[in-house]
Amino acid sequence: MEAHSSGASIAAGGRVVEPSVANALPHFVPLLMFPLVFAAVMYGGWWLAGPFAFFMLADRFDRLLGLEERNMDPATTGESQLFLYKLSLWLWAALWPVTFVFALWQVLVVGGLALWEIGVTAAILTLVAQTVFIVGHELVHRRAVWERRLGEFLLASVSYPHYATEHVYIHHPRVCTPLDPGSAPKGLSFWQYLPTEVASNLVGAWRFEHRRLTRRHLPLWHYTNAFWRYAVQIVFWYGLIFLWGGPWALLLYLALCGSVVFSMKISNYVQHYALRRIRMPTGRFEPVKPRHAWSAAYKFTNWLYYNMQRHADHHTSNRRYPLLQHHGESDSPQLPGSYAQMNGLALFPGRWFETMDPLVDRQRAQFYPEIEDWSAYDSRAFAARPDAFDVIAEIHAAAPGLAEWINRSPALLDTLREREFTDLELPEGFLSDSESEAIARCGLARLYWTHELSLSEMRAQLDDIPVQDAGEAVEAALEWSNGKVFQVAVHAMRGSLSVGEATTALSHVAEASIATVLAAVKEDFADRGVPDASGGVAVAVLGPLAGGEALPGTELDVRFVYDGEPARYYEALCRRFRKALRALSRNNLLLAPVPRGGLDSLQSLAAFEEQLRNPGSSRELVALARARCVFVSGADEIEERFAQALRDAPGHTAAREVPVAELREAAAASRVATDLAALAHGPAR
């Protein structure tokens, strides 16, 4: 209704074009291409320049003829008055297969063209075939079955018949939302957009057909599955090419189809770049409006491409192309050039962003002045998890570092749906006042992370994850750890956990992950049939992890201390430990990446005891004295002997107290100011 009223009001204002023979004839301009192509493939040589000249002159004709901002009034124009306009489209749809087959016959069967002429002919066919998607698109939107089937056949000629399903049933209802891969978010280049869009078209169309048949209680192979039609059409075209030219002709044809699809995807990219429908409080997206597609009004391009530049009105109505309305700047954002010009610009991301992003900002300020921060709408996290918009917006507004986390790995948002997290978020209004509710929520989170989810419980959670080797254990521990770190960070962002409580929880997360991975490595090592050595090895962490002060980006400082024979057994085992811990540190939200060659700290218990007796400095003694054993392999007594070595270190207590006090005093001012920021905002990685 809104679109209809808009068109009627424009017409009522005097900006009207009446349906007539004179006004319909310009839409026959695209048909002039076909005799040029026939002549080119028949005679070759300079005749091949004709089609190129036709397309190259389009831009000059746009400048010469100017803009067409008048509209035909849909309210007063009958279907019978549009016959000539429809005839132009139907003739193009009929002439393309004939011309295409004739050109293929000349190239593959007659063989009168030189090799360079064949290459130029392929380029000409690619240029002409760009209109296949425009005409096919117009036809698949029509109510008459024969028109829709004709549109599918045209699309199949360039190997893309599934577009008929994807475009109508997926792109249109989801346009300008993250549910539509065809609507590129701000900052995404065409080259990044292309592979996802192509893959999602096929997968999306297949899934839609599967859901449709399932709703009707029909099997996937039922004859009403549109993919049967698409398969028959594709087989026709490829069979024809193979019959005439063999396998090499198929490769040429595939390249031609790829070029056509490539050009169509550029148009798709341009039409909705960075335009977003806002999310309403109900969780639904606002209705599609003219502001959700880019418009242009160049007269000749609209004649050549059947009013393609009036795409904004196409999405708010299902009118035939001559009835599409041009919406001015007050209703729809305007492109700075024709669609053909902008398609070329989109191939160069730097120039594209420089030209378009300021226009996007202007469009947003014009139509959505109440929204100051669009980062959540533009985020990869929103594209991947549109139903989690509220928490995405909250994180983007409060914690830019966490926003980077979820944009790199949107799957982190799924951890906020786990029962252990959601059970801590009490519903609004469960107490009489908001202050009491906030206290209760904080109390639940603190109770859970400081008491209920103990280190042993964390180890038990990791043990419940089935793995078959150390490699899978690293992957499982990394995913589990990142989820827990993200949960703690969100609690800290919301004030449910203090810095001290959060860092203690994060230290436990790190310890549980490390211990689980090392246990899996030990099992792999034992499975190789290597005879066990006497004694054992203790793995201890130093630094913030040992003191329960871990923050995102904490460096992993580990000591491997062994006692027993042979030493080469522990050297081999610890090499595997180091390799697994390096893998665990990669893409880890809590641990800084361990460089190659890091963690090279294997020493005997005797050497460790000597280091404690004669440390290089008081700082080194403090670091060693605070070490905490997180994993033991071999004899159980190695852990006790390791702890006893720490307790027996000469002057251990006095040497520890003085430097600790000095360190705390020196770091106090910066620590208080930066801890919460580092935790809630996260380090840029």
Summarised one tens digit per residue, pLDDT across range 73-119 is 888 888 889 999 999 999 999 999 999 888 888 888 887 778 888 88
Alpha-carbon gap, residue 116 to 254, rounded angstroms? 18
| 390, 413 contact by CB (below 8 A) | no
Is the CA virtual torsion 96, 99, 102, 103 positive or negative? Answer: negative
Give the pLDDT score at 262. Answer: 92
| 261, 129 contact by CB (below 8 A) | no
Summarised one tens digit per residue, pLDDT across range 464-506 is 888 788 888 999 899 999 999 999 998 888 888 888 889 999 9
Give the pLDDT score at 639. Answer: 80
Does the predicted model carry a pTM greater than 0.95?
no
| 304, 30 contact by CB (below 8 A) | yes
Largest CA distance in the chain: 105
Alpha-carbon gap, residue 563 to 641, rounded angstroms? 10
- Residues 281 and 354 both lie in one domain: yes
Total count of domains within the chain: 3
Radius of gyration of the chain (CA): 34
Q: Which of 301, 330, 365 delimits the end of a domain?
A: 365
**In this structure, what DSSP letter does residue 106 have?**
I
Section 334-355 average pLDDT = 92
Give the pLDDT score at 595. Answer: 84
- Residues 519 and 619 both lie in one domain: yes
Residue 219 lies in a domain: no
Q: What angle do CA 483, 488, 491 make, to 5 degrees?
A: 125
- Provide the terminal-to-terminal Cα distance of the chain, rounded to the nearest Å: 49
**Listed range (136-140, 270-274, 671-675) with the worst mean pLDDT:** 671-675
| 300, 61 contact by CB (below 8 A) | yes
At residue 525, what is the residue type? F
**260: nearest Cα among 46, 100, 49, 139:** 100
> What is the pLDDT of the chain when averaged over all its residues?
84
Residue 182 lies in a domain: yes
Summarised one tens digit per residue, pLDDT across range 399-408 is 888 899 999 8
- Residues 361 and 376 both lie in one domain: no
Residue 427 lies in a domain: no
Residue 651 lies in a domain: yes
- Residues 576 and 657 both lie in one domain: yes
Q: How many Cβ atoms sit within 10 Å of the Cβ of residue 364?
A: 21
- Residues 148 and 131 both lie in one domain: yes
Alpha-carbon gap, residue 68 to 141, rounded angstroms? 24
The answer, yes or no, to whether the previous bond of 544 is cis (omega within 30 of 0) is: no
- Residues 382 and 361 both lie in one domain: no
Residue 429 lies in a domain: no
- Residues 382 and 458 both lie in one domain: no
Question: What is the DSSP code string of 589-617?
Answer: SSBPPPPTT----EEEHHHHHHHHHS-SS
Strand pairing partners for 633? 537
Residue 45 banded pLDDT, cuts 50, 70, 90: confident
Section 206-233 average pLDDT = 91
Alpha-carbon gap, residue 395 to 416, rounded angstroms? 12
**Which two tokens mark 572?**
């081999």
- Residues 355 and 385 both lie in one domain: no
The more confident residue out of 677 and 343 is 343
- Residues 611 and 468 both lie in one domain: yes
Does the structure show a pLDDT above 60 at 331?
yes
- Residues 48 and 146 both lie in one domain: yes
Instruction: Give the residue numbers spanning the domain of 462.
Output: 453-680
Strand pairing partners for 321? none
